[in-house]
Amino acid sequence: MATQKMDTGVVTLSNAIGMEITPYVKSGDTLILGDTTYDITEIVADTVSITPDDNEVNTTDAEFRDTPLFENVTLGKVQFAATCTDFQNDMMKAIFGWTEISQGSGQSAKKGVVAPLNYQELYCAIVVKFANRNVILPKVKMNSKAVLATLKTGYGEGQLAGTAYAGYVAYNASGDPAKATTAHTTWGFLPTDMTYTILAAEPAS
């Protein structure tokens, strides 16, 4: 049996350097990845987290031995969270699902945003950037909220949150998208110099 010593090529994920969020949009009845990516800069330190829930283990015990007759393990869902301090209209519309309202027209129009009365289903692709890796979540169902509290000593917070769903990542295309290999996943770590594309749906075979 071979032993592989893991003392070279160590990959440490620390000190994130950026985060990009691309909302999905509706095209008729189809959900597609939108054309606009938001480079979120105003993120509170140490608030970005990507945390899988504990796996769920279901077992059926055996009468005459300690090992179970049956064991089933279900992977825990991956939860994303981050806190931002930016309440720009574009951010609130695209990532929080708020609605823009305006008075007047043209450059002098005064624009604000209002919260929806009901939950607005919203999916986003999220990339958290590090010096040596991009952590990708191809499809996150967002459940974010705006919180205003402790405003004398603190600030309003946009609490970004969501649950990762399985999405598609195309890679190894060699310049021809039709030849790309596709991974179906909830999240992954990719080298920063790796070329990939997040897809809204499984590509046609």
Per-residue pLDDT of the chain (205 residues; tens, 9 = 90+): 888 888 888 889 999 999 999 999 988 888 889 999 999 999 999 999 999 999 999 999 999 999 999 999 999 999 999 999 999 999 999 999 999 999 988 888 999 999 999 998 999 999 999 999 999 999 999 999 999 998 999 899 999 999 999 999 999 877 666 678 889 999 999 999 999 999 877 666 5
pLDDT in tens, 9-60: 888 999 999 999 999 998 888 888 999 999 999 999 999 999 999 999 999 9
Distance of alpha carbon 158 from alpha carbon 84, whole angstroms: 5
Range of the domain at 116: 18-59+66-101+108-166
Residue 27 inside a domain? The answer is: yes
Residue 119 inside a domain? The answer is: yes
Identify each DSSP E strand in the chain by its residue range. 18-27, 30-33, 38-39, 49-52, 56-60, 70-74, 78-84, 99-103, 110-114, 123-129, 133-142, 145-147, 157-165, 167-171, 181-185, 188-191, 196-199
pTM for the model stands at: 0.89
Greatest C-alpha distance within the chain = 80
Please count the structural domains in the chain: 1
Residue 29 inside a domain? The answer is: yes
DSSP state of 43: B
Residue 9 inside a domain? The answer is: no
> Left (φ > 0), alpha (ψ -120 to 50) or beta: where does 17 sit?
alpha
Residue 75 inside a domain? The answer is: yes
